[in-house]
Structure 1
Amino acid sequence: MKPESPACFLRGEACSLGQIFSPAHQLPGNKLSAVGGGRGGMVGMRLAFWAVWELGETCHLDGTELKLSKNELKRCLKAEKKVAEKEAKQKELSEKQLSQATAAATNHTTDNGMGPEEESLDPNQYYKIHSQAIHQLKVKGEDPYPHKFHVDISLTDFIQEYSHLQPGDHLTGITLRVAGRIHGKRASGVKLISYIIGVQGNPGKTKKGELSIIPYEITLLSPCLHMLPHLHFGLKEKETRYPQRYLDLILNDFVRQKFITRSKIVTNIRSFMDELGFLEIETPMMNIIPGGAVAKPFITYHNELDMNFYRRIAPELYHKMLVVGGINRVFEIGCQFQNEGIYLMHNPEFTTCEFYMTCADYHDLIEIMENMVSVVVKHITGGYKVIYHPDGPEGQAYEIDFTPPFRRISMVEGLETALEMKLPETNLFETEETCKILDDIWGVKAVECPPPRTTARLLDKLVGELLEMTCINPTFICDHPQIISPLAKWSCSKVSLTESFELYLNNPNQQRQIFEEQAKAKAVGDDEAMFIDRNFCTALEYGLPPTV
């Protein structure tokens, strides 16, 4: 039955006309829904209803006829018109933004800039608009993700080769193809677009002296669908930088340089060790028994063998077995895994260079280390002194001097100087009295050492807090107590100390005894204490030459 005009059929509970016709409850197409709490005072009441508008003055409510005044009708029509105008304006703005973004993406040969409207979008809107723009390219038969683009020269080499050009030069006789990510476009300001493009053109310099490639063909290689932070402000939050390292590399050049420097360091170390006659090896990264260092291991499960394995914490024991087998100089650059804390000086996964040689002592090893580090630094930087920013380029700068010889600190003597007190004699370090003294020191320093608070753990933490943090320039911390260096050879002149940095013992009985002491520490809850590796002890019985 068609209602008289105007009519509205309502589903829900009773409400005042003010609630029914309130503009705040109006939806497109004259479909109305309301939530109680308007002028009728029915807070929290939900109403759902449909309204059909026609000219007239009558309103049917569940079959009951209500009279509507002309003034009320005018107010309703005025409110409806206002809402319709607002919706039309919003629709026009959205279409304009989409049109501009689509044009920027599809007409990449002429305009890759981002308009001010795009910069004001939230990330979800930005992603949607650029995804639609890429879809439009595909509809037109263009491939926004081509399989290949031939590059003649890298951007780094381009800068080096043509930086000599004079302002205004344009080498029309040379055509080059380069590729890279757009970081800015100069139009009505610098706007970030971040697409990866290929450019074919001529090298030259602008009248203001800016090195450029004057393009006559631009190819879209890969669009960027996500909004990136503005280059001027960059990406500084570590919470974003570290999990999304690709963003860190895109926006922070100093991070990219760290990756390059690290690669050069590894390459130079390999070259240095090769010249000294060391053989590079690879040892297992999963072990039945973790060994080679005092650290808590990661545990993984082998499905086929139905047993637990440990990620390696150090490759030392395998290296020594190779020395037993007759390989006199070995080295390995690889990852180690220690299931411990995360802070500036420690990461659970890290890379080490570990090497061993026969018929030498730890003084020879110190000399090799000094030469290796200083030679690598000079080869990469051109000198022995470098500027280091541990907190990023905007943080405090430190100058580090790698000129040999490096500083040397005896561990126990260094601790006594830092603590301004005399520690027990090193031959008493195994006693409970020494453990209690070190525990009391930690209480005074108000620094936590997680249980079990064994002598070895307390000493190690003290060294980290009082000695390592003061070593800005390269420093050897020598003469470790045997209780924290169970694999190092004992000192000839100092009781209960070892020749560390590091000379490893070659007496299988002594090694077995030290392993058993470590097992006792593990039994009382020290997860970092070593396991007993009987296979390694057996290998030593075949003869390990003096090895560092």
Structure 2
Amino acid sequence: MAHYDLRVDEETLEPNQYFKIRTQAVQALKGMGEDPYPHKYHVDMSLTEFIGKYSRLQPEDHLTDVVLNVSGRIHAKRAASSKLLFYDLRGEGVKLQVMASSKFYTSAKEFEAINGKLRRGDIAGVRGNPGKTKKGELSIIPIEMTLLSPCLHMLPHLHSGLKVKETRFRQRYLDLILNDYVRQNFVTRCKVITYLRSFLDQQGFLEVETPMMSQIPGGAVARPFVTRHNELDLKLYMRIAPELYHKMLVVGGLDRVYEIGRQFRNEGVDLTHNPEFTTCEFYMAYADYNDLMKVTEELLSGMVKHITGGYKITYHPDGPEGKACEIDFTPPFRRVSMTHDLAKIMDVTFPPPETYDSDETRKFFDELCSQKRVECPPPRTTARLLDKLVGEFLEVTCIDPTFICDHPQIMSPLAKGHRTVKGLTERFELFVMKKELCNAYTELNDPIKQRELFEQQAKAKAEGDDEAMFIDETFCTALEYGLPPTAGWGMGIDRLTMFLTDSNNIKEVLLFPIMKPDDNKAAAPV
């Protein structure tokens, strides 16, 4: 047992030394016929349930007639004497004290043996009685403790925590062990998805699953990931959006469908973008974008109130040390017209929307971007130039939820033309804290017009716009069978979760975000 007792001060050991000693100790246990990794441990009650049931005990109570098994990870070990030790057992985001006294064990030898094995970070099972100390701290008083899985690395102390983001995101398991708020972030994310499903199910929507790989990436303007099927010798694209599949389902008579799932876009990584992200999309026959604005207000305001208790949340856009902003999700949400309000803010008269596909209009916006020093890398198409201007002057005004409506047709190749203003579409994007959260429109269901717009996208792609759409013949054929009047909607779940958890980095709400290769893989975990 010499190796396992670690007679030297553990805190003075280098991480590699600690790992070596713990590994040797585990091997020593195996050599003595003990199994430090048992197959099963029966747990009678979670730590949360234990605390809820026995927190009303009085100081010095000791329920000797109640014997329970609980388990968790040891975060602290303190010796009051050779015969009395205290452990902090943590799990499910809560802590329970273990008050281990030799007088409640069958023998002093057994007491010394198990307490000589257990270290901070180990997962342990505790069989014992509920009780409270003289000072009134709820505890489990063990008659038996079992090592369930040893921790071979030195666990950082909770008071110093794990704060280095690089380590937190690469070793999320360690982040979850040490930072309770991280666990809560993902509990909130789960609540968002649960509420979404419940809301849409109650509205009569059917949840569907569509392909993650296809021969043509469609449904959005984005750069796709490319892969290959070896057996078929076929180039495939990872899904950038499920939209075209969903609309084909509506053609087939599934009038209300939705999908919560992953999208993949071969784009940059920053505070609000990850190449792999989660969306919810739904399609609703016999509805238009006006209907979906009302649905969006009802859904989001109800969700925020359900999760937080009110319509207003506090958000720090620049991180915990930055200035706090209040976001008010009280319906109805503000509405602005994209080109009309952009021209008003810039104090410029724009060309008529019906001319937006002309070269003269492209030159106008090209010169306007140059004049306003708004950067737009090539190709400098009208759609891209206008998008940059909107981001620079209009989106920045959207703090509380704001619908930016009526996008030009050249920016919306899948949206139906506006019923009163030629050149615009019946589309909206919902922005919160200057960031896009939702995108929706009355769907274009004219197959001839759709093919024309796809051909315009193909022309843009030929000119160097690698985010432009492909022509999807399968989808065009489906439209020829008749898509009823339909409205479609999509929302980024990651971004919404960022707002509800006061996170300004998307990596905080992704369990395993994409990271650059680690050049120091052999380094200690902390």
Task: Report if aligned partners of 2:375, 2:388 keep a CA contact under 8 Å in 1.
Answer: no
SS of 1:318 mapped into structure 2: helix
Residue 517 of structure 1 corresponds to which residue in structure 2? 456
SS of 2:427 mapped into structure 1: coil
Equivalent residue in structure 2 for 1:426, among 345, 348, 353:
353
Amino acid at match of 1:194: G
Residue 305 of structure 1 corresponds to which residue in structure 2? 232
Q: How big is the shift at 1:525? A: 0.8
Q: How big is the shift at 1:447? A: 5.7
Task: Name which of structure 1's ranges 332-341 and 448-457 shifts more when overlaid on structure 2.
Answer: 448-457
Distance 2:159 2:273 in 1: 32
Residue 291 of structure 1 corresponds to which residue in structure 2? 218
Amino acid at match of 2:17: Q
Go from structure 1 to structure 2 and tell me whether the alpha carbon gap of 1:459 and 1:246 turns closer, same or farther (over 3 Å shift). farther
1:158 to 2:50 alignment: yes
The correspondence of residues 308-319 of structure 1 with structure 2, limited to 5 A, is: 308-319=235-246
1:103 to 2:42 alignment: no
Amino acid at match of 2:40: K
Q: How big is the shift at 1:304? A: 1.0
1:279 to 2:171 alignment: no
Instruction: Say what the alpha-carbon RMSD is for the aligned residues.
Output: 2.5
Deviation track 1:176-210 (CA, whole Å, cap 9, x = no partner) reads 21111111223489998211111111222323332
SS of 2:410 mapped into structure 1: coil
Residue 12 of structure 2 corresponds to which residue in structure 1? 120
Residue 547 of structure 1 corresponds to which residue in structure 2? 486
1:529 to 2:468 alignment: yes
The correspondence of residues 90-489 of structure 1 with structure 2, limited to 5 A, is: 99=2, 102-103=4-5, 117-187=9-79, 193-389=120-316, 396-443=323-370, 448-489=375-416
Distance 1:388 1:373 in 2: 16
SS of 1:177 mapped into structure 2: strand
Task: Report if aligned partners of 2:74, 2:87 keep a CA contact under 8 Å in 1.
Answer: no
SS of 1:179 mapped into structure 2: strand
Task: Report if aligned partners of 1:426, 1:497 keep a CA contact under 8 Å in 2.
Answer: yes
Amino acid at match of 2:34: E
Distance 1:447 1:341 in 2: 19
Go from structure 1 to structure 2 and tell me whether the alpha carbon gap of 1:165 and 1:317 turns closer, same or farther (over 3 Å shift). same
Go from structure 1 to structure 2 and tell me whether the alpha carbon gap of 1:176 and 1:296 turns closer, same or farther (over 3 Å shift). same
Q: How many residues align?
A: 440
Deviation track 1:345-390 (CA, whole Å, cap 9, x = no partner) reads 2221111111111111111111112112222222223322233455
**TM-score with structure 1 setting the length:** 0.75
Amino acid at match of 1:314: A
- Larger RCO: 1 or 2 (CA < 8 Å, sep 6+): 2
Distance 1:130 1:510 in 2: 69
SS of 1:184 mapped into structure 2: strand
Amino acid at match of 2:20: K
Amino acid at match of 1:528: E
Go from structure 1 to structure 2 and tell me whether the alpha carbon gap of 1:223 and 1:468 turns closer, same or farther (over 3 Å shift). farther
Task: Name which of structure 1's ranges 230-239 and 358-367 shifts more when overlaid on structure 2.
Answer: 230-239
* Structure with bigger gyration radius: 1
Distance 1:230 1:116 in 2: 18
Amino acid at match of 1:282: E
Deviation track 1:112-160 (CA, whole Å, cap 9, x = no partner) reads xxx8832222221111111111112112211111111111111222222
The correspondence of residues 12-161 of structure 1 with structure 2, limited to 5 A, is: 99=2, 102-103=4-5, 117-161=9-53
SS of 1:514 mapped into structure 2: helix
Distance 2:383 2:398 in 1: 21
Q: How big is the shift at 1:453? A: 2.6
Distance 2:133 2:372 in 1: 62
Task: Report if aligned partners of 1:254, 1:393 keep a CA contact under 8 Å in 2.
Answer: no
Amino acid at match of 2:5: A
Amino acid at match of 1:160: G
Q: How big is the shift at 1:401? A: 2.3
Distance 2:378 2:26 in 1: 57
**What are structure 1's unaligned runs of at least 5 residues?**
1-97, 105-114
Q: How big is the shift at 1:541? A: 1.0
Task: Report if aligned partners of 1:508, 1:540 keep a CA contact under 8 Å in 2.
Answer: yes
Equivalent residue in structure 2 for 1:508, among 436, 442, 447:
447
**What are structure 2's unaligned runs of at least 5 residues?**
81-85, 89-118, 429-440, 488-526
Amino acid at match of 1:103: D
Distance 1:412 1:432 in 2: 18
SS of 1:488 mapped into structure 2: coil
Distance 1:254 1:366 in 2: 33
Go from structure 1 to structure 2 and tell me whether the alpha carbon gap of 1:282 and 1:141 turns closer, same or farther (over 3 Å shift). same
Task: Report if aligned partners of 2:256, 2:285 keep a CA contact under 8 Å in 1.
Answer: yes
SS of 1:182 mapped into structure 2: strand
Distance 1:439 1:279 in 2: 45
Task: Report if aligned partners of 2:255, 2:284 keep a CA contact under 8 Å in 1.
Answer: yes
Go from structure 1 to structure 2 and tell me whether the alpha carbon gap of 1:163 and 1:392 turns closer, same or farther (over 3 Å shift). farther
